[in-house]
């Protein structure tokens, strides 16, 4: 534990706080280590404690003397993270200057400016993850869910630097109080390898199944799936979920949105073996091994060889000719299709005389998983995809780096819309960043999540309005209602390896 962490522990232990109902609680024992979240501003420290009830004037907590409190307080941003926001502000400001009518550029500029302010100034509203968890626990408690903590209360105070030397004076400190569950966390360091036998084998058959059916049935789908967020009570053979900072709301009026229960549920929570070439499970040692393999592959000539993406489409559609034979370009923050010049094998100029957009020119590279929000520990490595971006600011929102080499952006899938986009690391890490790869049989087709699940959507008519989306469920993006109003075609994006001197 660092000196800063020890000071924070001392500052919080013994602290008293009150809820709106007049009850007073005291922090008495740490249940987790102090962790710092420096990925998304406002940056914050977080730690979980046992707390005891000292006063209950409203007699609301009969039978409850001890509870759990999750404490979060704002901390100052590091110089590196502040510099990242400053770089993003300059980049998006240039984009807005060149394309003042582009709403996405304006939104990204505003987000970067707010991110910087939250990194250097006090904030009185907690991080969105905290708000998410309060809302989820209130809902699950009101619905009587028996597989999650019960919400007891939430309150905010102003933090001072006596708690932690890197605390943001005048910023928020939040106390989220919930019931204490029986059992222990099934983290990697506590009998991890017993879990597959307990939960996947017949004894007991319904432990995880009950969680899925009950929590999903109440409209909550947790996204931070990791063994550290599961409590197991050996006596009752019962599982609980304890973290709801990141979740998706299930529309209960649309049965097709209800996840189906299968092996993938156990695998996604780290409770069952994930089939691999050597039949192992992804645990701590395996994650390290996979990272070594991934690093070795990513550094190989084949992985780092740049390529363009050509489009192959055999769909039975009168629009096929607009798609088949085109190539992928970077335009307005998205990956789009563009007619290809048969002689140069590059994008054609626009019929209106404007320059051709920047062709996708990318390669595979491991995404820094230590920067991902709510990542599991250990984090399974993720193979990412990068592309050069336009060097001329008149044609796009990015310029060459100071080194003179083309600047790179990460390719990612917007988790809300399933659009395939490109952007800086600070933007990409909030969405689906991989794993990208190629098809095993010929190493040509671009895959995401092990499948060729990319489709093209006709956003605008005229042959120049096709954009790439991720159709993971293979149902024409039914959940996102894209196919109801727009044409969706299945296609294959084929790698075309190019020489280093042809990189643009």
Q: What is the pLDDT of residues 319-332, one digit of tens each?
A: 888 999 999 999 98
Residues 159 and 235 sit within 8 Å (Cβ to Cβ): no
Comparing 67 with 266, the larger pLDDT belongs to: 67
Examine the pLDDT at 5 and tell me if it is beyond 80.
no
Instruction: Please give the helix or strand (H or E) that residue 105 lies within, else none.
Output: helix 103-120
Contacts of 435 by beta carbon, 8 Å cutoff, 6+ apart: 382, 383, 384, 448, 449, 450
Q: Which residue shows structure tokens 């959507």?
A: 457
If pLDDT is split at 50, 70 and 90, which confidence band does 108 have?
A: confident
Comparing 297 with 224, the larger pLDDT belongs to: 224
Per-position DSSP letters for 307-366, written without gaps between them: EEEEEE---SSTTHHHHTT-EEEEETTEEEEE-B-TTTSSBPPPTTSPPPPEEP-EEEEE
Mean pLDDT value of segment 498-502: 74
Examine the pLDDT at 103 and tell me if it is beyond 50.
yes
What are the backbone dihedrals phi and psi of residue 7, each rounded to the nearest 5 degrees, phi first? -65, -40
Per-residue confidence (pLDDT) for residue 375, from 0 to 100: 59
Residues 8, 14, 19: CA angle, nearest 5 degrees: 100
Domain 284-502 top-level CATH class: mainly beta
Cα 415 to Cα 310: distance, rounded to the nearest angstrom: 25
User: Coil, strand or helix: which one is 178?
Assistant: strand
If pLDDT is split at 50, 70 and 90, which confidence band does 238 have?
A: confident
If pLDDT is split at 50, 70 and 90, which confidence band does 268 have?
A: low
Examine the pLDDT at 191 and tell me if it is beyond 70.
no
Q: Taking the C-alpha atoms of 183, 186, 187 and 192 in order, what is their torsion angle to the nearest 10 degrees?
A: 130
* Most confident segment among 49-53, 78-82, 201-205, 292-296: 49-53
Per-residue confidence (pLDDT) for residue 16, from 0 to 100: 94
What are the backbone dihedrals phi and psi of residue 109, each rounded to the nearest 5 degrees, phi first? -65, -45
Mean pLDDT value of segment 382-390: 88
- Give this prediction's pTM: 0.58
State the chain's mean pLDDT as an integer.
Answer: 79
Cα 184 to Cα 328: distance, rounded to the nearest angstrom: 50
Cα 310 to Cα 168: distance, rounded to the nearest angstrom: 50
Q: Could you read off the pLDDT of 453-480 as tens digits, one per residue?
A: 899 999 988 889 999 999 988 888 888 8
Examine the pLDDT at 18 and tell me if it is beyond 90.
yes
Q: Which residue shows structure tokens 């039914």?
A: 478
If pLDDT is split at 50, 70 and 90, which confidence band does 281 have?
A: very low
Least confident interval from 216-220, 302-306, 313-317, 398-402 = 398-402
Per-residue confidence (pLDDT) for residue 209, from 0 to 100: 59
User: Is 62 exposed, middle or buried, given 0-12, 13-18 or 19+ CB atoms closer than 10 A?
Assistant: exposed
Q: Which residue shows structure tokens 């727009």?
A: 486
Helix axis angle for 79-98 and 103-120, nearest 10°, is 160
Per-residue confidence (pLDDT) for residue 270, from 0 to 100: 61
Per-residue confidence (pLDDT) for residue 410, from 0 to 100: 93
Q: What superfamily in CATH does domain 3-78+121-178 come from?
A: Phosphorylase Kinase; domain 1 (3.30.200.20)
Mean pLDDT value of segment 231-260: 77
Examine the pLDDT at 310 and tell me if it is beyond 90.
yes
Examine the pLDDT at 293 and tell me if it is beyond 60.
no
If pLDDT is split at 50, 70 and 90, which confidence band does 200 have?
A: very low
Mean pLDDT value of segment 387-401: 53
Mean pLDDT value of segment 307-320: 88
Q: Could you read off the pLDDT of 341-362 as tens digits, one per residue?
A: 988 999 998 888 888 999 999 9
The fraction of the chain above a pLDDT of 90, given in percent, is 33
Comparing 160 with 96, the larger pLDDT belongs to: 96
* CATH code of the domain made up of 184-268: 1.10.510
Examine the pLDDT at 259 and tell me if it is beyond 80.
no
Mean pLDDT value of segment 219-238: 78
Per-residue confidence (pLDDT) for residue 280, from 0 to 100: 36
- 45: number of CA atoms within 13 Å, CB side? 25
Per-residue confidence (pLDDT) for residue 409, from 0 to 100: 92
What six digits make up the tokens of 493? Answer: 């994006």
Cα 426 to Cα 408: distance, rounded to the nearest angstrom: 13
Residues 406 and 504 sit within 8 Å (Cβ to Cβ): yes
Comparing 284 with 157, the larger pLDDT belongs to: 157
Examine the pLDDT at 279 and tell me if it is beyond 90.
no
Examine the pLDDT at 278 and tell me if it is beyond 50.
no
Per-residue confidence (pLDDT) for residue 65, from 0 to 100: 93
Residues 260 and 228 sit within 8 Å (Cβ to Cβ): no
Examine the pLDDT at 9 and tell me if it is beyond 60.
no
Per-residue confidence (pLDDT) for residue 154, from 0 to 100: 96
């Amino acid at each position: 534990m660092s000196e800063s962490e020890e000071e924070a522990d001392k500052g919080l232990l013994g602290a008293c706080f009150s809820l709106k109902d007049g009850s007073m609680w005291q922090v008495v024992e740490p249940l987790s280590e102090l962790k710092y979240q420096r990925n998304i501003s406002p940056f914050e420290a977080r730690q979980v404690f046992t707390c005891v009830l000292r006063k209950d004037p409203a007699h609301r907590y009969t039978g409850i003397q001890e509870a759990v409190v999750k404490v979060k307080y704002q901390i100052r941003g590091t110089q590196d993270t502040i510099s990242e926001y400053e770089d993003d502000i300059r980049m998006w400001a240039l984009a807005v200057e060149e394309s003042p009518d582009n709403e996405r550029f304006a939104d990204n500029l505003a987000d970067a400016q707010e991110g910087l302010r939250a990194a250097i100034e006090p904030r009185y509203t907690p991080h969105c993850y905290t708000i998410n968890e309060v809302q989820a626990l209130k809902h699950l408690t009101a619905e009587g869910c028996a597989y999650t903590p019960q919400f007891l209360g939430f309150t905010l105070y102003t933090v001072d630097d006596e708690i932690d030397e890197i605390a943001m004076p005048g910023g928020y400190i939040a106390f989220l109080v919930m019931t204490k569950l029986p059992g222990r966390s099934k983290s990697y360091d506590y009998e991890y390898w017993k879990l597959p036998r307990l939960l996947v084998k017949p004894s007991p058959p319904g432990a995880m199944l009950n969680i899925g059916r009950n929590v999903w049935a109440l409209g909550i789908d947790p996204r931070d799936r990791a063994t550290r967020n599961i409590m197991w009570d050996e006596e009752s053979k019962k599982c609980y979920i304890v973290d709801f900072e990141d979740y998706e709301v299930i529309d209960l009026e649309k049965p097709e949105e209800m996840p189906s229960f299968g092996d993938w549920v156990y695998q996604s929570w780290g409770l069952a073996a994930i089939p691999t070439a050597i039949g192992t499970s992804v645990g701590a040692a395996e994650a390290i091994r996979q990272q070594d393999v991934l690093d070795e592959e990513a550094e190989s000539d084949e992985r780092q060889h740049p390529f363009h993406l050509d489009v192959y489409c055999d769909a039975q559609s009168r629009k096929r000719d607009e798609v088949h034979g085109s190539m992928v370009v970077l335009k307005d923050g998205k990956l789009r299709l563009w007619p290809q010049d048969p002689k140069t094998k590059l994008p054609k100029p626009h019929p209106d005389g404007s320059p051709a957009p920047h062709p996708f020119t990318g390669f595979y590279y491991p995404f820094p998983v230590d920067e991902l929000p709510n990542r599991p520990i250990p984090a399974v490595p993720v193979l990412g995809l990068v592309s050069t971006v336009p060097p001329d600011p008149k044609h796009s929102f990015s310029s060459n780096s100071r080194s003179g080499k083309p600047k790179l952006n990460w390719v990612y899938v917007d988790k809300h819309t399933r659009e395939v986009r490109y952007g800086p690391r600070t933007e990409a890490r909030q969405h689906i960043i991989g794993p990208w790869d190629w098809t095993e049989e010929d190493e040509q087709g671009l895959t995401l999540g092990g499948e060729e699940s990319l489709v093209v959507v006709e956003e605008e008519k005229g042959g120049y309005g096709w954009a790439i989306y991720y159709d993971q469920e293979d149902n024409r993006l039914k959940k996102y209602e894209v196919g109801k109003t727009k044409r969706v075609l299945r296609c294959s994006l084929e790698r075309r390896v190019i020489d280093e001197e042809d990189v643009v």
